[in-house]
Amino acid sequence: MNWYEKLKELRKYKGLTLKEVATGLSIPLQTYANYEHGTREPSIAMIYSICKFFDISSDYLIGLSDSY
């Protein structure tokens, strides 16, 4: 599973909308949507923010681990 597929899976698992996640990360909705579609890659700082928001390990997000 790609990192962007994991983002979508996490969002759905938490029962959140794209807009709720974008608001929680303080980024435009389209930017977050592009992350989930894999058409844009987040910066290191944004990966950190995403991991804090979802309370997951960056290793999980980038594919080095199978557990959150």
State residue 24 phi and psi, 5-degree precision: -65, -30
Confidence bin at 47 (pLDDT 50/70/90): very high
State the first-to-last Cα distance of the chain, in angstroms, to the nearest integer: 14
Q: How many CB atoms lie within 10 A of CB 46?
A: 16
Ordered by start, the domain boundaries in the chain are 3-62
> Looking at residue 65, what is its pLDDT?
85
Contacts of 29 (CB under 8 A, 6+ apart): 18, 19, 22
3-62 adopts what CATH topology? 434 Repressor (Amino-terminal Domain) (1.10.260)
pTM to 2 decimal places: 0.90
Structure confidence by residue, pLDDT tens digits, 27-45:
999 999 999 999 999 999 9
